[in-house]
Amino acid sequence: MPDTTFDVIVIGAGPAGYPCAIRAAQNGLKVACIDEWKNRDGTHAYGGTCLNAGCIPSKALLESSELYHRAQTEFAAHGISVGQVAFDVATMQKRKAKIVKASTQGVASLFKAAGVTAIQGHGRLLAGNKVEVTAFDGKKSEIVAKHVVLASGSVPMELRSVPFDGKDVVDSWGALDFGAVPKRLGVIGAGVIGLELGSVWRRLGAEVVVLEAMEQFLWMADQQVAKEALKHFKKQGLDIRLGAKVGGMERGKDGITLKYEDASGAKAVSVDKVVVAIGRRPFTKELLGEGTGVELDERGFVKVDHECRTGAGNVWAIGDVVRGPMLAHKGKEEGVMVADLIAGLVSEVNYKVIPSVIYTAPEIAWVGQTEEDVKKTGRPYKVGTFPFMASGRARAMEATAGFCKVISATDDDEILGVHIVGPMAGELIAEAVLALEYSASTEDIQRTIHAHPTLSEALHEAALHADGRAIDMPNK
Ligand code: FAD
Ligand code: NAD
Protein backbone atom coordinates (compact mmCIF):
# COMPACT_ATOMS: atom_id res chain seq x y z
CA MET A 1 0.00 0.00 0.00
CA PRO A 2 1.72 3.28 -1.09
CA ASP A 3 2.00 6.19 1.33
CA THR A 4 -0.83 8.71 1.06
CA THR A 5 -0.04 11.07 3.93
CA PHE A 6 2.90 13.48 3.85
CA ASP A 7 4.24 16.53 5.65
CA VAL A 8 4.83 18.28 2.34
CA ILE A 9 3.59 17.70 -1.22
CA VAL A 10 5.33 19.67 -3.97
CA ILE A 11 3.52 19.94 -7.32
CA GLY A 12 6.17 20.35 -10.05
CA ALA A 13 9.77 19.14 -10.14
CA GLY A 14 11.40 22.03 -12.00
CA PRO A 15 14.26 24.09 -10.53
CA ALA A 16 11.81 25.57 -7.98
CA GLY A 17 9.99 22.37 -6.97
CA TYR A 18 12.80 19.82 -6.78
CA PRO A 19 15.10 21.87 -4.49
CA CYS A 20 12.08 22.56 -2.27
CA ALA A 21 11.34 18.82 -2.00
CA ILE A 22 14.98 17.96 -1.28
CA ARG A 23 15.44 20.69 1.35
CA ALA A 24 12.16 19.69 3.03
CA ALA A 25 13.41 16.08 3.22
CA GLN A 26 16.76 17.32 4.57
CA ASN A 27 14.72 19.06 7.28
CA GLY A 28 13.37 15.68 8.35
CA LEU A 29 9.96 16.02 6.72
CA LYS A 30 8.10 13.33 4.81
CA VAL A 31 7.88 14.65 1.25
CA ALA A 32 6.25 13.77 -2.08
CA CYS A 33 6.94 15.56 -5.36
CA ILE A 34 4.58 15.11 -8.33
CA ASP A 35 5.60 15.99 -11.85
CA GLU A 36 3.93 15.59 -15.25
CA TRP A 37 6.70 16.71 -17.67
CA LYS A 38 6.59 14.67 -20.88
CA ASN A 39 9.30 14.73 -23.51
CA ARG A 40 8.44 14.67 -27.20
CA ASP A 41 9.06 10.92 -27.28
CA GLY A 42 6.49 10.44 -24.52
CA THR A 43 9.02 9.69 -21.78
CA HIS A 44 8.82 11.39 -18.41
CA ALA A 45 11.70 13.34 -16.90
CA TYR A 46 12.14 15.45 -13.77
CA GLY A 47 13.72 18.91 -13.90
CA GLY A 48 10.94 20.89 -15.61
CA THR A 49 11.55 23.49 -18.31
CA CYS A 50 15.03 24.32 -17.07
CA LEU A 51 16.59 20.88 -17.46
CA ASN A 52 14.50 19.56 -20.36
CA ALA A 53 13.79 22.54 -22.60
CA GLY A 54 15.42 25.65 -21.16
CA CYS A 55 18.61 26.56 -19.35
CA ILE A 56 20.55 23.34 -19.90
CA PRO A 57 19.82 22.42 -23.56
CA SER A 58 20.19 26.07 -24.62
CA LYS A 59 23.59 26.34 -22.94
CA ALA A 60 24.70 23.07 -24.56
CA LEU A 61 23.93 24.45 -28.04
CA LEU A 62 25.35 27.88 -27.18
CA GLU A 63 28.64 26.20 -26.24
CA SER A 64 28.80 24.04 -29.41
CA SER A 65 27.93 26.90 -31.74
CA GLU A 66 30.34 29.26 -29.98
CA LEU A 67 33.20 26.78 -30.35
CA TYR A 68 32.45 26.46 -34.06
CA HIS A 69 32.33 30.24 -34.42
CA ARG A 70 35.60 30.72 -32.53
CA ALA A 71 37.35 28.03 -34.52
CA GLN A 72 36.42 29.95 -37.64
CA THR A 73 37.19 33.44 -36.43
CA GLU A 74 39.86 33.20 -33.72
CA PHE A 75 42.07 30.17 -34.29
CA ALA A 76 44.07 31.86 -37.06
CA ALA A 77 45.09 34.65 -34.65
CA HIS A 78 46.57 31.95 -32.37
CA GLY A 79 48.52 30.54 -35.30
CA ILE A 80 46.32 27.46 -35.46
CA SER A 81 45.11 26.35 -38.86
CA VAL A 82 42.48 23.67 -39.00
CA GLY A 83 41.55 23.80 -42.66
CA GLN A 84 37.85 23.90 -43.41
CA VAL A 85 35.92 23.88 -40.13
CA ALA A 86 32.71 21.89 -40.38
CA PHE A 87 29.91 20.93 -38.02
CA ASP A 88 27.20 18.31 -37.77
CA VAL A 89 23.88 19.42 -36.23
CA ALA A 90 22.89 15.83 -35.46
CA THR A 91 26.02 15.36 -33.31
CA MET A 92 25.40 18.67 -31.55
CA GLN A 93 21.82 17.60 -30.83
CA LYS A 94 22.94 14.18 -29.59
CA ARG A 95 25.44 15.81 -27.24
CA LYS A 96 22.70 18.16 -25.98
CA ALA A 97 20.33 15.23 -25.39
CA LYS A 98 23.02 13.38 -23.40
CA ILE A 99 23.61 16.41 -21.17
CA VAL A 100 19.87 16.82 -20.60
CA LYS A 101 19.46 13.14 -19.75
CA ALA A 102 22.34 13.21 -17.27
CA SER A 103 20.81 16.27 -15.60
CA THR A 104 17.24 14.93 -15.38
CA GLN A 105 18.37 11.50 -14.19
CA GLY A 106 20.43 13.37 -11.61
CA VAL A 107 17.22 14.81 -10.14
CA ALA A 108 15.67 11.33 -9.90
CA SER A 109 18.80 10.12 -8.05
CA LEU A 110 18.75 13.13 -5.74
CA PHE A 111 15.11 12.40 -4.86
CA LYS A 112 16.02 8.81 -4.08
CA ALA A 113 19.03 9.79 -1.96
CA ALA A 114 17.00 12.35 0.00
CA GLY A 115 14.06 9.99 0.54
CA VAL A 116 11.58 12.07 -1.47
CA THR A 117 8.64 10.07 -2.86
CA ALA A 118 8.70 10.97 -6.55
CA ILE A 119 5.37 10.61 -8.34
CA GLN A 120 4.87 10.86 -12.10
CA GLY A 121 1.55 12.35 -13.13
CA HIS A 122 -0.67 15.39 -12.80
CA GLY A 123 -1.35 16.97 -9.41
CA ARG A 124 -4.44 19.02 -8.61
CA LEU A 125 -4.87 20.79 -5.32
CA LEU A 126 -8.21 20.12 -3.66
CA ALA A 127 -9.72 21.77 -0.60
CA GLY A 128 -8.23 20.62 2.71
CA ASN A 129 -4.65 20.26 1.43
CA LYS A 130 -5.53 17.12 -0.48
CA VAL A 131 -3.95 16.53 -3.86
CA GLU A 132 -5.59 14.50 -6.59
CA VAL A 133 -2.96 12.60 -8.58
CA THR A 134 -3.76 11.50 -12.14
CA ALA A 135 -1.21 8.95 -13.28
CA PHE A 136 -0.18 8.81 -16.95
CA ASP A 137 -2.52 5.84 -17.44
CA GLY A 138 -5.45 8.00 -16.24
CA LYS A 139 -5.76 6.32 -12.82
CA LYS A 140 -6.73 8.78 -10.09
CA SER A 141 -5.73 8.70 -6.42
CA GLU A 142 -5.59 11.14 -3.53
CA ILE A 143 -2.78 12.08 -1.19
CA VAL A 144 -2.79 14.61 1.62
CA ALA A 145 -0.22 16.76 3.41
CA LYS A 146 0.14 19.41 6.10
CA HIS A 147 1.71 21.69 3.49
CA VAL A 148 1.35 21.86 -0.30
CA VAL A 149 3.78 23.80 -2.48
CA LEU A 150 2.71 24.79 -6.00
CA ALA A 151 5.66 24.89 -8.42
CA SER A 152 3.96 24.36 -11.77
CA GLY A 153 6.15 26.77 -13.73
CA SER A 154 5.40 28.59 -16.95
CA VAL A 155 4.81 28.04 -20.68
CA PRO A 156 5.63 30.15 -23.76
CA MET A 157 3.25 32.99 -24.64
CA GLU A 158 1.59 32.68 -27.99
CA LEU A 159 1.25 35.42 -30.59
CA ARG A 160 -2.23 35.14 -32.03
CA SER A 161 -1.19 36.60 -35.39
CA VAL A 162 1.72 34.13 -35.72
CA PRO A 163 0.42 30.90 -34.20
CA PHE A 164 2.73 27.99 -33.37
CA ASP A 165 2.49 25.07 -35.81
CA GLY A 166 5.20 22.96 -34.17
CA LYS A 167 7.20 22.77 -37.41
CA ASP A 168 7.93 26.12 -39.04
CA VAL A 169 6.58 28.46 -36.35
CA VAL A 170 7.94 27.23 -33.06
CA ASP A 171 8.54 28.17 -29.45
CA SER A 172 11.94 28.01 -27.73
CA TRP A 173 11.71 24.23 -27.24
CA GLY A 174 11.13 23.79 -30.98
CA ALA A 175 14.04 26.11 -31.77
CA LEU A 176 16.32 24.01 -29.54
CA ASP A 177 15.38 20.93 -31.56
CA PHE A 178 15.95 22.09 -35.16
CA GLY A 179 17.52 19.18 -37.04
CA ALA A 180 19.17 21.47 -39.61
CA VAL A 181 20.22 25.10 -39.75
CA PRO A 182 17.38 27.17 -41.22
CA LYS A 183 18.57 29.32 -44.11
CA ARG A 184 16.53 32.31 -42.92
CA LEU A 185 15.30 32.46 -39.33
CA GLY A 186 12.84 35.00 -38.02
CA VAL A 187 12.85 35.58 -34.26
CA ILE A 188 9.99 37.52 -32.70
CA GLY A 189 11.19 39.15 -29.46
CA ALA A 190 14.71 40.39 -28.71
CA GLY A 191 14.52 39.21 -25.10
CA VAL A 192 16.74 36.65 -23.44
CA ILE A 193 15.49 33.67 -25.48
CA GLY A 194 15.48 35.56 -28.77
CA LEU A 195 19.09 36.67 -28.31
CA GLU A 196 20.41 33.33 -27.02
CA LEU A 197 18.71 31.13 -29.61
CA GLY A 198 19.16 33.71 -32.38
CA SER A 199 22.91 33.58 -31.56
CA VAL A 200 23.01 29.76 -31.73
CA TRP A 201 21.57 29.58 -35.25
CA ARG A 202 23.35 32.72 -36.49
CA ARG A 203 26.74 31.24 -35.48
CA LEU A 204 25.86 28.12 -37.43
CA GLY A 205 25.14 30.15 -40.54
CA ALA A 206 21.45 31.13 -40.51
CA GLU A 207 20.45 34.62 -41.62
CA VAL A 208 18.69 35.79 -38.47
CA VAL A 209 16.22 38.67 -38.30
CA VAL A 210 15.02 39.61 -34.81
CA LEU A 211 11.84 41.67 -34.62
CA GLU A 212 11.42 43.49 -31.33
CA ALA A 213 8.31 45.52 -30.50
CA MET A 214 10.07 47.92 -28.10
CA GLU A 215 12.11 50.86 -29.43
CA GLN A 216 14.64 50.33 -26.65
CA PHE A 217 17.01 47.36 -26.81
CA LEU A 218 17.11 45.28 -23.58
CA TRP A 219 15.02 47.79 -21.65
CA MET A 220 15.56 45.87 -18.39
CA ALA A 221 19.38 46.11 -18.61
CA ASP A 222 21.65 49.06 -17.91
CA GLN A 223 21.49 51.00 -21.17
CA GLN A 224 25.26 51.54 -21.44
CA VAL A 225 25.60 47.76 -21.36
CA ALA A 226 22.67 47.27 -23.77
CA LYS A 227 24.25 49.68 -26.31
CA GLU A 228 27.61 47.90 -26.14
CA ALA A 229 25.96 44.48 -26.55
CA LEU A 230 23.82 45.64 -29.48
CA LYS A 231 26.97 46.86 -31.28
CA HIS A 232 28.55 43.39 -30.99
CA PHE A 233 25.37 41.48 -31.92
CA LYS A 234 25.01 43.61 -35.07
CA LYS A 235 28.67 42.92 -35.94
CA GLN A 236 27.91 39.20 -35.62
CA GLY A 237 25.21 39.61 -38.24
CA LEU A 238 22.11 39.48 -36.04
CA ASP A 239 19.69 41.76 -37.89
CA ILE A 240 17.88 43.28 -34.89
CA ARG A 241 14.98 45.52 -35.84
CA LEU A 242 13.63 47.60 -32.96
CA GLY A 243 10.16 49.12 -32.70
CA ALA A 244 8.90 46.34 -35.00
CA LYS A 245 5.33 45.36 -34.17
CA VAL A 246 4.43 42.06 -35.82
CA GLY A 247 0.86 42.05 -37.14
CA GLY A 248 0.63 38.76 -39.03
CA MET A 249 2.17 36.23 -41.36
CA GLU A 250 1.57 34.75 -44.78
CA ARG A 251 2.81 31.49 -46.22
CA GLY A 252 3.81 31.50 -49.88
CA LYS A 253 6.45 30.48 -52.40
CA ASP A 254 9.03 32.53 -50.51
CA GLY A 255 8.46 30.73 -47.22
CA ILE A 256 6.84 32.64 -44.37
CA THR A 257 6.41 36.37 -44.70
CA LEU A 258 6.20 38.18 -41.38
CA LYS A 259 4.37 41.47 -41.57
CA TYR A 260 5.28 44.18 -39.16
CA GLU A 261 5.07 47.90 -38.62
CA ASP A 262 7.75 50.21 -37.37
CA ALA A 263 8.08 54.00 -37.10
CA SER A 264 8.51 54.30 -40.87
CA GLY A 265 5.44 52.25 -41.80
CA ALA A 266 4.40 48.76 -42.91
CA LYS A 267 7.23 46.28 -43.58
CA ALA A 268 7.63 42.58 -44.32
CA VAL A 269 10.42 40.04 -44.11
CA SER A 270 10.46 36.51 -45.53
CA VAL A 271 11.99 33.64 -43.60
CA ASP A 272 11.97 29.83 -43.55
CA LYS A 273 11.39 29.28 -39.82
CA VAL A 274 10.04 31.47 -37.05
CA VAL A 275 10.75 31.37 -33.32
CA VAL A 276 8.21 33.23 -31.22
CA ALA A 277 9.95 34.33 -28.01
CA ILE A 278 7.78 37.09 -26.57
CA GLY A 279 7.81 35.95 -22.95
CA ARG A 280 6.28 33.17 -20.85
CA ARG A 281 3.10 32.96 -18.81
CA PRO A 282 2.40 31.16 -15.55
CA PHE A 283 1.06 27.61 -15.96
CA THR A 284 -1.91 26.74 -13.75
CA LYS A 285 -3.98 24.50 -16.03
CA GLU A 286 -6.09 22.13 -13.92
CA LEU A 287 -3.91 22.91 -10.94
CA LEU A 288 -6.59 24.18 -8.59
CA GLY A 289 -9.80 22.35 -7.64
CA GLU A 290 -12.89 23.93 -6.10
CA GLY A 291 -12.64 25.78 -2.79
CA THR A 292 -8.85 25.78 -2.33
CA GLY A 293 -8.82 29.49 -1.56
CA VAL A 294 -5.74 30.02 -3.75
CA GLU A 295 -6.05 33.19 -5.82
CA LEU A 296 -4.58 34.18 -9.16
CA ASP A 297 -3.69 37.78 -10.03
CA GLU A 298 -4.87 39.57 -13.18
CA ARG A 299 -1.92 38.13 -15.18
CA GLY A 300 -2.58 34.57 -14.04
CA PHE A 301 0.21 34.28 -11.45
CA VAL A 302 -0.58 32.56 -8.16
CA LYS A 303 -0.84 35.36 -5.58
CA VAL A 304 1.76 35.10 -2.81
CA ASP A 305 3.35 37.31 -0.17
CA HIS A 306 7.11 37.93 0.16
CA GLU A 307 7.49 34.51 1.83
CA CYS A 308 5.59 32.70 -0.95
CA ARG A 309 2.50 32.03 1.19
CA THR A 310 -0.69 31.98 -0.89
CA GLY A 311 -2.82 32.94 2.09
CA ALA A 312 -4.83 29.72 1.75
CA GLY A 313 -4.13 27.39 4.67
CA ASN A 314 -0.68 25.87 4.38
CA VAL A 315 -0.46 26.33 0.62
CA TRP A 316 2.68 27.94 -0.78
CA ALA A 317 3.74 28.77 -4.36
CA ILE A 318 7.20 29.29 -5.86
CA GLY A 319 9.11 29.77 -9.12
CA ASP A 320 7.76 30.95 -12.46
CA VAL A 321 4.14 30.51 -11.36
CA VAL A 322 4.51 33.46 -8.96
CA ARG A 323 5.58 37.12 -9.39
CA GLY A 324 9.20 38.10 -9.95
CA PRO A 325 11.76 37.25 -12.61
CA MET A 326 11.31 33.92 -14.39
CA LEU A 327 14.73 32.55 -13.50
CA ALA A 328 15.75 29.10 -12.33
CA HIS A 329 17.91 30.41 -9.48
CA LYS A 330 15.10 32.66 -8.21
CA GLY A 331 12.78 29.61 -8.07
CA LYS A 332 15.44 27.53 -6.33
CA GLU A 333 15.93 30.12 -3.57
CA GLU A 334 12.15 30.37 -3.07
CA GLY A 335 11.90 26.58 -2.88
CA VAL A 336 14.63 26.34 -0.27
CA MET A 337 13.15 29.26 1.71
CA VAL A 338 9.68 27.68 1.78
CA ALA A 339 11.05 24.28 2.85
CA ASP A 340 12.95 25.97 5.69
CA LEU A 341 9.97 28.10 6.76
CA ILE A 342 7.77 24.96 6.83
CA ALA A 343 10.33 23.35 9.13
CA GLY A 344 10.17 26.37 11.44
CA LEU A 345 13.57 27.73 10.43
CA VAL A 346 14.31 31.38 9.68
CA SER A 347 14.73 32.07 5.98
CA GLU A 348 14.18 34.70 3.32
CA VAL A 349 14.93 35.50 -0.30
CA ASN A 350 16.74 38.75 -0.96
CA TYR A 351 14.80 39.77 -4.06
CA LYS A 352 17.01 42.84 -4.52
CA VAL A 353 20.03 40.66 -5.21
CA ILE A 354 18.95 38.26 -7.96
CA PRO A 355 21.52 38.16 -10.77
CA SER A 356 20.52 38.14 -14.43
CA VAL A 357 22.69 36.57 -17.12
CA ILE A 358 22.27 36.50 -20.89
CA TYR A 359 24.52 33.82 -22.36
CA THR A 360 25.36 35.54 -25.63
CA ALA A 361 28.86 36.44 -26.78
CA PRO A 362 29.77 38.73 -25.19
CA GLU A 363 27.81 37.60 -22.14
CA ILE A 364 25.71 40.13 -20.27
CA ALA A 365 25.26 39.93 -16.50
CA TRP A 366 24.05 42.26 -13.81
CA VAL A 367 22.87 42.53 -10.25
CA GLY A 368 21.21 45.39 -8.40
CA GLN A 369 20.13 48.69 -9.87
CA THR A 370 20.86 49.99 -13.36
CA GLU A 371 22.17 53.54 -13.76
CA GLU A 372 18.69 54.48 -15.03
CA ASP A 373 17.13 53.03 -11.82
CA VAL A 374 19.57 54.92 -9.60
CA LYS A 375 19.01 58.22 -11.45
CA LYS A 376 15.28 57.91 -10.76
CA THR A 377 15.88 57.59 -7.00
CA GLY A 378 17.71 60.92 -6.95
CA ARG A 379 20.46 59.47 -4.72
CA PRO A 380 23.88 60.87 -5.67
CA TYR A 381 26.03 58.17 -7.22
CA LYS A 382 29.39 57.50 -8.81
CA VAL A 383 30.27 55.14 -11.65
CA GLY A 384 33.43 53.22 -12.35
CA THR A 385 34.03 51.30 -15.57
CA PHE A 386 36.87 49.19 -16.89
CA PRO A 387 37.09 47.87 -20.46
CA PHE A 388 38.18 44.27 -21.07
CA MET A 389 40.42 45.74 -23.79
CA ALA A 390 42.67 46.88 -20.92
CA SER A 391 42.71 43.44 -19.25
CA GLY A 392 45.79 41.33 -19.90
CA ARG A 393 43.85 38.10 -19.42
CA ALA A 394 41.10 39.18 -21.82
CA ARG A 395 43.72 40.07 -24.43
CA ALA A 396 45.38 36.68 -23.93
CA MET A 397 41.97 35.08 -24.43
CA GLU A 398 41.28 37.11 -27.58
CA ALA A 399 38.10 38.27 -25.81
CA THR A 400 38.36 42.01 -25.31
CA ALA A 401 34.77 43.08 -26.04
CA GLY A 402 32.84 44.85 -23.32
CA PHE A 403 33.43 46.27 -19.85
CA CYS A 404 32.62 46.08 -16.13
CA LYS A 405 30.60 48.85 -14.54
CA VAL A 406 30.19 49.51 -10.83
CA ILE A 407 27.57 51.99 -9.60
CA SER A 408 27.87 53.12 -5.98
CA ALA A 409 26.27 55.66 -3.68
CA THR A 410 28.35 58.80 -3.16
CA ASP A 411 27.13 59.29 0.42
CA ASP A 412 28.13 55.98 2.04
CA ASP A 413 30.01 54.20 -0.78
CA GLU A 414 27.47 51.30 -0.89
CA ILE A 415 27.51 49.37 -4.16
CA LEU A 416 24.10 49.76 -5.82
CA GLY A 417 24.58 47.80 -9.02
CA VAL A 418 27.17 45.95 -11.06
CA HIS A 419 26.81 45.46 -14.81
CA ILE A 420 29.10 43.42 -17.00
CA VAL A 421 29.16 42.86 -20.72
CA GLY A 422 32.11 40.73 -21.74
CA PRO A 423 33.79 37.34 -21.48
CA MET A 424 32.48 35.06 -18.69
CA ALA A 425 30.25 37.86 -17.36
CA GLY A 426 27.91 35.19 -15.95
CA GLU A 427 30.72 33.82 -13.78
CA LEU A 428 32.20 37.21 -12.86
CA ILE A 429 28.87 38.51 -11.56
CA ALA A 430 28.99 36.05 -8.62
CA GLU A 431 31.52 38.28 -6.82
CA ALA A 432 29.20 41.26 -7.25
CA VAL A 433 26.21 39.24 -5.99
CA LEU A 434 28.13 38.37 -2.84
CA ALA A 435 29.17 42.01 -2.45
CA LEU A 436 25.57 43.24 -2.68
CA GLU A 437 24.34 40.45 -0.39
CA TYR A 438 26.73 41.74 2.27
CA SER A 439 25.95 45.41 1.46
CA ALA A 440 29.61 45.86 0.54
CA SER A 441 31.12 49.22 -0.27
CA THR A 442 33.18 50.08 -3.32
CA GLU A 443 36.16 50.20 -0.96
CA ASP A 444 35.52 46.57 0.04
CA ILE A 445 36.04 45.46 -3.56
CA GLN A 446 38.96 47.88 -3.95
CA ARG A 447 40.71 46.30 -0.93
CA THR A 448 39.99 42.71 -2.01
CA ILE A 449 42.96 41.07 -3.69
CA HIS A 450 42.14 39.73 -7.16
CA ALA A 451 44.49 37.19 -8.71
CA HIS A 452 46.50 38.27 -11.72
CA PRO A 453 45.95 37.80 -14.58
CA THR A 454 42.20 37.16 -14.30
CA LEU A 455 39.09 38.63 -15.82
CA SER A 456 37.93 39.45 -12.29
CA GLU A 457 40.60 42.16 -12.14
CA ALA A 458 38.32 44.16 -14.46
CA LEU A 459 35.71 44.33 -11.68
CA HIS A 460 38.42 45.34 -9.20
CA GLU A 461 39.65 48.08 -11.53
CA ALA A 462 36.07 49.29 -12.21
CA ALA A 463 35.59 49.67 -8.44
CA LEU A 464 38.88 51.61 -8.22
CA HIS A 465 37.86 53.72 -11.21
CA ALA A 466 34.68 54.81 -9.38
CA ASP A 467 37.00 56.81 -7.09
CA GLY A 468 39.44 57.86 -9.81
CA ARG A 469 42.03 55.36 -8.53
CA ALA A 470 42.23 52.76 -11.33
CA ILE A 471 45.78 51.56 -11.91
CA ASP A 472 45.55 49.84 -15.26
CA MET A 473 43.95 52.68 -17.20
CA PRO A 474 43.92 56.46 -17.04
CA ASN A 475 41.27 57.84 -14.65
CA LYS A 476 38.59 60.35 -15.60
P1 FAD B 1 9.34 24.71 -14.58
O2 FAD B 1 10.78 24.55 -14.84
O3 FAD B 1 8.46 25.10 -15.72
O4 FAD B 1 8.83 23.33 -13.95
C5 FAD B 1 7.52 23.10 -13.62
C6 FAD B 1 7.27 21.60 -13.63
O7 FAD B 1 6.00 21.35 -13.09
C8 FAD B 1 7.26 21.01 -15.04
O9 FAD B 1 7.96 19.80 -15.06
C10 FAD B 1 5.78 20.78 -15.33
O11 FAD B 1 5.55 19.71 -16.24
C12 FAD B 1 5.29 20.42 -13.93
N13 FAD B 1 3.87 20.67 -13.71
C14 FAD B 1 3.13 21.75 -14.03
N15 FAD B 1 1.87 21.61 -13.59
C16 FAD B 1 1.81 20.41 -12.98
C17 FAD B 1 0.77 19.70 -12.34
N18 FAD B 1 -0.44 20.22 -12.17
N19 FAD B 1 1.04 18.47 -11.84
C20 FAD B 1 2.29 17.92 -11.96
N21 FAD B 1 3.29 18.56 -12.56
C22 FAD B 1 3.06 19.79 -13.06
N23 FAD B 1 16.54 30.56 -16.37
C24 FAD B 1 17.75 30.81 -15.84
O25 FAD B 1 17.84 31.14 -14.65
N26 FAD B 1 18.90 30.67 -16.58
C27 FAD B 1 18.86 30.31 -17.88
O28 FAD B 1 19.90 30.20 -18.52
C29 FAD B 1 17.60 30.05 -18.47
N30 FAD B 1 17.52 29.66 -19.76
C31 FAD B 1 16.29 29.38 -20.29
C32 FAD B 1 16.23 29.02 -21.63
C33 FAD B 1 15.01 28.75 -22.22
C34 FAD B 1 14.95 28.34 -23.66
C35 FAD B 1 13.82 28.82 -21.43
C36 FAD B 1 12.49 28.49 -22.03
C37 FAD B 1 13.88 29.19 -20.10
C38 FAD B 1 15.11 29.49 -19.53
N39 FAD B 1 15.22 29.90 -18.20
C40 FAD B 1 16.44 30.19 -17.67
C41 FAD B 1 14.03 30.04 -17.34
C42 FAD B 1 13.89 28.81 -16.45
O43 FAD B 1 13.84 27.66 -17.27
C44 FAD B 1 12.64 28.92 -15.61
O45 FAD B 1 12.69 30.13 -14.86
C46 FAD B 1 12.53 27.76 -14.65
O47 FAD B 1 12.51 26.53 -15.34
C48 FAD B 1 11.28 27.88 -13.77
O49 FAD B 1 11.28 26.85 -12.85
P50 FAD B 1 9.93 26.30 -12.20
O51 FAD B 1 10.35 25.13 -11.37
O52 FAD B 1 9.18 27.39 -11.60
O53 FAD B 1 9.06 25.78 -13.44
P1 NAD C 1 11.55 38.19 -22.45
O2 NAD C 1 10.54 38.85 -21.61
O3 NAD C 1 12.96 38.15 -22.00
O4 NAD C 1 11.58 38.88 -23.89
C5 NAD C 1 10.46 38.98 -24.70
C6 NAD C 1 10.70 40.10 -25.69
O7 NAD C 1 9.68 40.04 -26.67
C8 NAD C 1 10.64 41.48 -25.04
O9 NAD C 1 11.76 42.23 -25.43
C10 NAD C 1 9.34 42.06 -25.59
O11 NAD C 1 9.38 43.46 -25.76
C12 NAD C 1 9.24 41.35 -26.93
N13 NAD C 1 7.88 41.25 -27.45
C14 NAD C 1 6.75 40.99 -26.77
N15 NAD C 1 5.69 40.93 -27.62
C16 NAD C 1 6.19 41.14 -28.85
C17 NAD C 1 5.62 41.21 -30.16
N18 NAD C 1 4.32 41.02 -30.33
N19 NAD C 1 6.43 41.45 -31.20
C20 NAD C 1 7.77 41.64 -31.03
N21 NAD C 1 8.36 41.60 -29.81
C22 NAD C 1 7.59 41.36 -28.75
O23 NAD C 1 10.98 36.73 -22.74
P24 NAD C 1 11.66 35.46 -23.41
O25 NAD C 1 12.91 35.85 -24.12
O26 NAD C 1 10.57 34.79 -24.15
O27 NAD C 1 12.05 34.60 -22.16
C28 NAD C 1 11.03 34.14 -21.24
C29 NAD C 1 11.58 34.02 -19.86
O30 NAD C 1 12.55 33.00 -19.78
C31 NAD C 1 12.21 35.30 -19.42
O32 NAD C 1 11.51 35.76 -18.29
C33 NAD C 1 13.61 34.96 -19.05
O34 NAD C 1 13.96 35.47 -17.79
C35 NAD C 1 13.64 33.45 -19.03
N36 NAD C 1 14.92 33.06 -19.66
C37 NAD C 1 16.07 33.32 -18.98
C38 NAD C 1 17.28 33.03 -19.57
C39 NAD C 1 18.53 33.36 -18.84
O40 NAD C 1 18.48 33.59 -17.64
N41 NAD C 1 19.68 33.37 -19.49
C42 NAD C 1 17.33 32.47 -20.82
C43 NAD C 1 16.14 32.24 -21.48
C44 NAD C 1 14.93 32.53 -20.88
Atom of ligand 2 nearest to the CA of 218: 9
pTM of the model: 0.98
Q: Which domains does the chain have, with CATH numbers?
A: 5-156+281-349 (3.50.50.60), 169-278 (3.50.50.60), 353-465 (3.30.390.30)
Query: Using alpha carbons only, what angle is made at residue 354 by residues 195 and 175, rounded to the nearest 5 degrees?
Result: 25
Q: How would you label 403-417 residue by residue, b for 16+ Cβ within 10 Å and e otherwise?
A: bbbbbbbeeebbbbb
**Ligand 1 atom 9 nearest Cα:** 48
Range list of β-strands (E), 334-461: 356-358, 363-368, 381-387, 403-409, 415-422
User: Ligand 1 pocket test: which of 50, 318, 320, 429 has the largest number of ligand atoms within 8 Å of its C-beta?
Assistant: 50
- Residue 48 CB–ligand 1 contact under 6 Å: yes
**Ligand 2 atom 9 nearest Cα:** 191
Ligand showing the shortest atom-to-Cα distance for residue 196: 2
What is the Cα–Cα distance from 155 to 213, expressed in whole angstroms?
20
Residues annotated as catalytic (active site), given as ranges: 452
pLDDT over threshold 90, residue 476: no
**Ligand 2 atom 30 nearest Cα:** 326
**pLDDT category, 1, cuts 50, 70, 90?**
low
Specify the pLDDT at position 2: 75
Q: Which residue has the higher pLDDT, 306 or 1?
A: 306
Condensed to tens digits (0 to 9), the pLDDT of residues 11-57 reads 999 999 999 999 999 999 999 999 999 999 999 999 999 999 999 99
Burial of 155 (0-12, 13-18, 19+ CB in 10 A): middle
Distance 310 CA to ligand 2 centre (A): 26
What is the Cα–Cα distance from 259 to 277, expressed in whole angstroms?
16
Q: What lines the ligand 2 site, CB under 6 Å? A: 159, 188-194, 196, 211-214, 245-246, 277-280, 325-327, 357-359
Distance 14 CA to ligand 1 centre (A): 5
DSSP code for 371: H
**Ligand 2 atom 38 nearest Cα:** 192
**Ligand 2 atom 14 nearest Cα:** 278
- Residue 12 CB–ligand 1 contact under 6 Å: yes
Is the Cα torsion angle 247, 217, 279, 292 positive or negative in sign? negative
**Radius of gyration, alpha carbons of the chain:** 24
Query: Which ranges of 42-191 would DSSP assign to H, the alpha helix?
Result: 48-53, 55-73, 89-114, 172-176
Q: How far is CA 269 from the centre of its chain?
A: 28
List all residues 6 or more positions away from 474 whose beta carbon is below 8 Å from its beta carbon.
Answer: none
pLDDT over threshold 70, residue 390: yes
Condensed to tens digits (0 to 9), the pLDDT of residues 265-294 reads 999 999 999 999 999 999 999 999 999 999
- Residue 49 CB–ligand 1 contact under 6 Å: yes
- Residue 193 CB–ligand 1 contact under 6 Å: yes
Q: How would you label 36-61 residue by residue, b for 16+ Cβ within 10 Å and e otherwise?
A: bbeeeeeeebbbbbbbbbbbbbbebb
